[in-house]
Amino acid sequence: MTYNMKIIKHFVQFILVWMIVGSSECFAQQPNDWQLDKMPPALETDYALSALPPHLRDGATVYLLDPTKGYYLAKKGTNGFSAFVERTDWSRGEFLPDMYAPEGFDSIGSKTLVPIFFEIAAMRASGKYTALQLRDIVVKRIKDGIYKAPPRTGICYMLSPLLRTNNGDGIANMVMPHYMIYAPYLDNADIGGGWIPGGHQPFIIGTGDALDKAHSIFNYIGIAAGETEKGKIVNDSKELLARLAAYKPSLKVD
């Protein structure tokens, strides 16, 4: 072997070693932003049920989140309604560690929309996907007709005394109990609505730029609870709010 050949051989070996080490370091530095904490089951149950009106809570099915696997059945209901605390907003292409959005779906939403949210949670819990990959998977499944809109009008209740989610300006706490009527493929122009402070006129709640109008199966007509109803919800939920604040300071309502 000539001197030049030895130099080339050593250079190639160096490059291969550098690529292996560099790849390992990059893999090790992949963010663990998909990981979530496990809420205390009793607290998560009460928080999930707070999304529903009181008369629907006893008969509702409750699902809790196992951050390593996804949602599991914690309480089998009898009235067709289901409740859980959503922890992933797939449409933004980012994993938030402290998003909390209790939701209570009627029977048709429990059969059509809830399973989609649970598949999203399971994909996140697997740690196999980035937030952007997960968003792309959901969009593709909608466009391929795998994920479908509810076949009739229905309702998702979000009457909990506290939401913590991205409000467009970042993660924040919101005290805005509201109702969401399934409205796939509609926008604000269709209903003559739009957001105003307080949400006291109908407005479309959707997925932002993730889906175009033709594929907007997650669109809802949102209507905020009135101020009197809102005040009663908050007052009746003082114990729950105290437990949430004790569990995590970021869930404290000022």
pLDDT under 50 in the chain at which residues? 3-29
Give the pLDDT score at 170: 85
User: What is d(CA 183, CA 168) in angstroms, rounded to the nearest whole number?
Assistant: 21
Residue 136 exposed, middle or buried by CB count within 10 Å (0-12, 13-18, 19+): middle
**Which residue in the block uniquely carries the two structure tokens 């059509």?**
112
Helices (H), the chain: 3-28, 41-49, 54-57, 107-112, 114-126, 131-143, 188-191, 227-236, 238-247
Which amino acid would we find at residue 120? I
Domain parsing of the chain, residue ranges: 1-30, 41-251
3-state secondary structure 137-152: HHHHHHHCCCCCCCCC
**Mean pLDDT score of the chain:** 89
**CB proximity list for 155: less than 8 A, separation 6 or greater:** 105, 106, 109, 179, 180, 181, 182
Task: Give tens-digit pLDDT for 55-67.
Answer: 999 999 999 999 9
* CA distance readout (Å), 141 to 2, 52, 119, 136, 149: 58, 29, 11, 9, 12
Give the pLDDT score at 247: 97
Tell me which residue of 172, 218, 234, 226 sits closest to 199, measured CA to CA. 226
